[in-house]
Chains A and B, each alone.
Chain A
Amino acid sequence: MTFAVLVFPGSNCDMDCHHVLSNVLRQPVDYVFHHETDLSKFDCVVIPGGFSYGDYLRCGAVARFSPVMQAVQDHVAAGKLVIGICNGFQVLLEAGLLPGAMVRNDCQRFVCKYVNLRTESTDTPFTRRINKDAVLRIPVAHGEGCYYADEQTLRELKEKDQVVFRYVSPEGVVTPEANPNGSVENIAGICNAERNVLGMMPHPERCSEDLLTSVDGRSIFESLLAGSV
């Protein structure tokens, strides 16, 4: 499977995603700079975390206007895969490729720590190798990760099984204490109705190697690869 990792000025998890895809999963990966316009040779586009364009104005708000994002729209329309992590998720929301919006964490502080995620939907190319309700330990690191959607959108997300991850206790229970940022219904990750675009706040690329604190992130990348054979 051929991967593109987008690089906006201010992206800072681009090298981490590249490292996991290339050195851990041994897949072909290219960096694609924000002013490029063609993604046709890639199967999956990764929009990494960071502070694209300094996150001035609003997280992801400037990045959506960059030339490469038109190519991402075309890539999605062609049914190919996109995963947006952290700032990448924010960019996907701003670009309208996923529903809802992101606001400042309810604690008003940046939060970097390990959280527990329950896998709500395994019917996506990103989670098909994960057991339903499996609890994954994956870190978050963001200041604006409080997911918000109105009632109608939430209902649709749930009806179409688009909620992919929720913040839970280590035992797998949705609780207010398990929610690091105040996201509505503890939502940590969602996909689009067509199921080829995933946005998630936690960072699977930070926990995909034995040496690091957890390897749970790897199952997301392995799910992607499982579909390509």
Chain B
Amino acid sequence: MMLDKALALGMKEKEYEKVVSILGRAPTETELAMYSVEWSEHCGYPRSRPLLKLFPKEGKYSAQVGEDAGGIEIEPGLMIVFKMESHNHPSQVEPKHGAATGVGGIVRDIFTCGARPIACLDSLRFGDLKTPLARYLFHGVVEGISFYGNCIGVPTVAGEVGFNPCYRGNCLVGVMSVGVVRTADIVSGIGKGVGNPVIYFGNSTGRDGIGGCSILASHEFGEGEEKRPTVQIGDPFTEKCLIEACLEALKTGAIVSLKDMGAAGLTCTTCEQAAAGGVGMEIDIGKVPLREADMESFEIMMSESQERMLGVIEKGREAEIISILEKWDLNGVVIGRVTDDGQMRVLRDGVIVAEMPAASLADPPTYYLPSEEPSYLRDVQAFDFSTICEPDDFDEALRTLLTSPDIAHKGWVFEQYDHMVQTNTVVLPGAGDAAVLRIKESSGKGIAVTTDCNSRYCFLDPYVGAQIAVAEAARNVVCVGAEPAGITDCLCFGNPEKPDRFYPFKRAVEGIADACAFFELPVVSGNVSFYNETVESGIHPTPIIGLVGVLEDVERRLTMAFRNEGDLVILLGDSLEELGGSEHLYLSRELEAGKPPALDLNKELSVQRCCLRAAQAGLLSSAHDCSEGGLAVAIAESCMTGGHGVALRLESHMRRDALLFGETQSRIVVSMLPCRLPALQSIAAECSTPLTLLGSVEGDRLTMMVNDLEIVNQLVAELDNLWRGAIACLMK
């Protein structure tokens, strides 16, 4: 029965009925396979599309919102394109190749539009690192990113890694890539020109990844299911050759449109290019280079074999393009042509195996899903902090924070990634709140890139948590001296068909949309990943934000390290008495409770403007935002990266644990030569930014006095050893 097959492919009964009504008959096996992948959540976004329309598309920098990747114009004629995508389920099933092919796919989205990929970032989440499963996945995912990213010569420059038991059965692997392209050279995915040939580029087609998007990515994990065959295997060497071949081929001007065969492979690239151009397409899959000759037609159409592209070429210029592909030892085969009848027609050696309106594939049904506030929210938010007493030993509490895998130095991760190839990485990973790249093609400009999301905040309040993700990402790039310019997102949530799971998604999207509108940040691209849950638990809502900022003069970049003995240490922004959602509360009490830190968008913008103006004026020696672990951890990190001590005198009436470890937003710790203080004060006054002198950079110890009582006194070198060694120690 075809209906049973449709259900097995992950379709709903109603969707099957719609297919029958479009075709006016029962679909063939190949047609059914094509609809199932194109209408899956992973490809067609039927469940998230209505909400994603809320995202703003414009900002200060001219933006282009794209399907493969969008971008911002950093100077006339020069665009930075970027996009983030998840590869969660494949990585849980097969961590090395799951993560590796995540890198491959997102990088292809960048060069598909004609841009040279110049950086990758990774946002990773795993279960408790003390468990063998989390260590196995963490090890494998990092190895996979290293294996693939290093070989293709694209530096992995930034990212984040977080650990929480909620990710135990469903790790998150969000991969972002960034590219640079002259606007005149941008290529679209709009197939046009009746009679133009359709060329298949790259690797041959095998049985790997069949149903990856419809079965693996669009359903919850069941227990003990064998899904390994749905994971693709990556070949970074072929990808590197494909990058060079595509960029060379695009220079000829003979390519009308180009699309990466990612999720849903040949099905997606053919029908989406045809639908976008309002044309039809006819291909003969008998011509597709195959790894195994006996592949079924539906397998060829669904395969997610990696390192493949499909392009529409100007008629008569096939040989030119094929010779470039051959130079790089890649397949280049004409498999079809653009037609005028709007039909997607798939032949195999002359016999029709599938035929349907191309537009119908690219236009999945839309679902408006119900949402309902989850019952846990009120309980966790109502937590009474007066039941928690201050730590007896603040030194010990600080050391505990610094060795928490969430806060510990991530050298074990980023030293496995080539983060310097292409020689653009001006601020290296770990040195600043964001990585900074110079743009060789520009007039002295640079970009800052970061990813950010505190999923504990989103668990406690998805709207505020998502806003904080945007605010903190923007603050991160401000701290290296860049102006926030545009974002991409990777929205990882549970099963949207459950109203209490859809609620956090809806609220997070609204939070991102409102924050982006306020900060005038366009959302240029993005990705939604639902069904991140297992039988036993769901993940925290995790809307990961990738943000690109622009440095008008890359020489004016900043790092977090205290640089000079005698520099003043200053806090921009106010500290509030907040402990909700803090890492300190989690580590000391295993509690994820309270409200997340409050976010006042006006205050946030004021602090960011003040810091950015001071950075651009060259007033600052360092800047570092207060995030997980609060003020004390921010100060310690500036000490450890700079190899300097600090003496701070704080005056406050609030709880000392909240003062040191509370995670109030909109705060930046800066250091500067004392003679520059008046200039900073006047900028702060103009921006209405609160400014507090905390102390100065001195000696080799980190000391903190609160109301004349010394509560922290630590040798920086000792803290540094703990901080840098913590993850390696757990991974031994």
Q: Contact at B237–A141, with CB atoms within 8 Å?
A: no
How far does the alpha carbon of A48 sit from the alpha carbon of B686 in the complex, in Å? 52
Give per-residue flags for A139-160: 1 if the beta carbon is below 8 A from chain B beta carbons, else 0: 1010100000000000000000
How far does the alpha carbon of A209 sit from the alpha carbon of B150 in the complex, in Å? 22
CB distance from A113 to the nearest CB of B (A): 5
Q: Contact at A12–B153, with CB atoms within 8 Å?
A: yes
Q: Contact at A141–B420, with CB atoms within 8 Å?
A: yes
How far does the alpha carbon of A54 sit from the alpha carbon of B329 in the complex, in Å? 13
Among A180-229, those with CB < 8 Å from B are 203, 205-206, 209, 211-213
Q: Contact at A51–B415, with CB atoms within 8 Å?
A: no
Does B216 sit at the interface, judged by CB under 8 A? no
Among B209-238, those with CB < 8 Å from A are 235-238
How far does the alpha carbon of A211 sit from the alpha carbon of B428 in the complex, in Å? 12
Does B5 sit at the interface, judged by CB under 8 A? no
Q: Contact at B421–A13, with CB atoms within 8 Å?
A: yes
Q: Contact at A19–B237, with CB atoms within 8 Å?
A: no
Q: Contact at A203–B150, with CB atoms within 8 Å?
A: no
**Nearest chain A residue, comparing its CB with the CB of B429:** A112
Number of A residues near B (Cβ < 8 Å) is: 30
Given the interface pairs A12-B153, A205-B423, A206-B423, the reply to whether A110 lies near B237 with Cβ below 8 Å is no
Among B402-431, those with CB < 8 Å from A are 411, 414-423, 425-426, 428
How far does the alpha carbon of A111 sit from the alpha carbon of B417 in the complex, in Å? 7
Q: Contact at B151–A51, with CB atoms within 8 Å?
A: yes
**Nearest chain B residue, comparing its CB with the CB of A15:** B422
Give per-residue flags for B542-582: 1 if the beta carbon is below 8 A from chain A beta carbons, else 0: 00000000000011000000000000000000000000000
**Nearest chain B residue, comparing its CB with the CB of A33:** B327
CB distance from A164 to the nearest CB of B (A): 22
How far does the alpha carbon of A53 sit from the alpha carbon of B426 in the complex, in Å? 29
Given the interface pairs A54-B151, A211-B438, the reply to whether A141 lies near B421 with Cβ below 8 Å is yes
Ordered nearest first, which 3 A-B pairs have the shortest CB separation?
A: A12-B153, A54-B237, A51-B151
Does B440 sit at the interface, judged by CB under 8 A? yes
CB distance from B419 to the nearest CB of A (A): 6
Q: Contact at A112–B419, with CB atoms within 8 Å?
A: yes
Chain B residues with a Cβ under 8 A of chain A:
143, 146, 150-153, 235-238, 240-241, 328-329, 411, 414-423, 425-426, 428, 438, 440, 554-555
**Nearest chain A residue, comparing its CB with the CB of B426:** A211
Q: Contact at B237–A10, with CB atoms within 8 Å?
A: yes
Q: Of A16, A141, A206, A212, which is within 8 A of B150 by CB?
A: A141
CB distance from A207 to the nearest CB of B (A): 9
Q: Contact at A12–B421, with CB atoms within 8 Å?
A: yes
**Nearest chain B residue, comparing its CB with the CB of A13:** B421
Q: Of A9, A15, A141, A213, which is within 8 A of B418 by CB?
A: A141
Does A109 sit at the interface, judged by CB under 8 A? yes
Q: Contact at B150–A110, with CB atoms within 8 Å?
A: yes
Q: Contact at B418–A110, with CB atoms within 8 Å?
A: yes
**Nearest chain B residue, comparing its CB with the CB of A56:** B237
Q: Of B328, B416, B425, which is within 8 A of A109 by CB?
A: B416
Which residues from chain A contact B440 at a C-beta distance below 8 Å?
19
Q: Contact at A51–B237, with CB atoms within 8 Å?
A: yes
CB distance from A25 to the nearest CB of B (A): 14
How far does the alpha carbon of A98 sit from the alpha carbon of B502 in the complex, in Å? 62
CB distance from B233 to the nearest CB of A (A): 14
How far does the alpha carbon of A15 sit from the alpha carbon of B153 in the complex, in Å? 10
CB distance from A13 to the nearest CB of B (A): 6
CB distance from B122 to the nearest CB of A (A): 14
Does A50 sit at the interface, judged by CB under 8 A? yes
Q: Contact at B418–A212, with CB atoms within 8 Å?
A: no
Max chain B Cβ within 10 angstroms of own Cβ: one of A49, A112, A143: A112
